[in-house]
Amino acid sequence: MKITTKGQVTIPQHIREKHGLMPHTEIDIIEEGAKIVIVRSKKSRHSDQFSRLRGTATVRMSTDEILRLTRGQE
């Protein structure tokens, strides 16, 4: 892994997915002796819990069908 001329690095996809690091996730960089540690920012933790759940529905239902289902109407 290399640092770009702008000081940027790419976190590998499998690590981003495993730890829920989505675009715009806030992180902190901490120095621990000779190590540099990347951690999710405390202000970002709550909002990111839901961001990985966002997406497009895969079930084809009309709005009326969804409302009937959620309201328990037949």
Q: What is the pLDDT of residues 4-42, one digit of tens each?
A: 999 999 999 999 989 888 888 889 999 999 999 999 887
User: 25-29, 47-51, 58-62 — which one is most confidently predicted on average?
Assistant: 25-29
Among 46, 53, 45, 47, which residue's Cα sits nearest to residue 28? 45
The SS3 of residue 36 is strand
DSSP 31: E
Residue ranges covered by each domain of the chain: 13-71
Its pTM stands at 0.50
